[in-house]
Amino acid sequence: MTKTRKLVLALLVMVTATAAGCGGDVAKQVASNEQLRGQVLDVIAQNQAVALQAVDRIVASDSLRAVVVDHLLLNKDVARRVIVRIATNPAAFDAVVGVAVRDTAMREHVLTLVKGIEMASGR
């Protein structure tokens, strides 16, 4: 039996026992039991579909969305990956430039960058 299957089985047993009234509230147990929380997070991290559902629920909250984005951008590898995805997606890039040019100082910066690109290309 793989480690993932063991973890899933263990979680199912805990959830079943909890649902039967043997263990109290699952949410409270996950919040208060570091080992159980680690197991739950491991299962989420190892299952793409479940991980994406978790992300969708987390970012659905306006108050958490900004915190999560800021936290992700603190990780240099994640920040680099986000930047690459935006830079290679015309719609995302247009959205970023659209937001940037709303601010006067950033608009000037964007224009300076565009002028630099034009000069470098010999226009």
**pTM for the predicted model, two decimal places:** 0.62
pLDDT at 122: 80
Sign of the alpha-carbon torsion through 75, 81, 87, 91:
negative
pLDDT at 86: 96
pLDDT at 6: 65
pLDDT at 25: 85
pLDDT at 53: 94
Tokens of 103: 């601010």
d(CA 79, CA 94): 18
Average pLDDT of adjacent 10-residue blocks, the chain of 123 residues: 64 61 74 92 92 92 92 96 96 95 93 93 79
d(CA 86, CA 47): 25
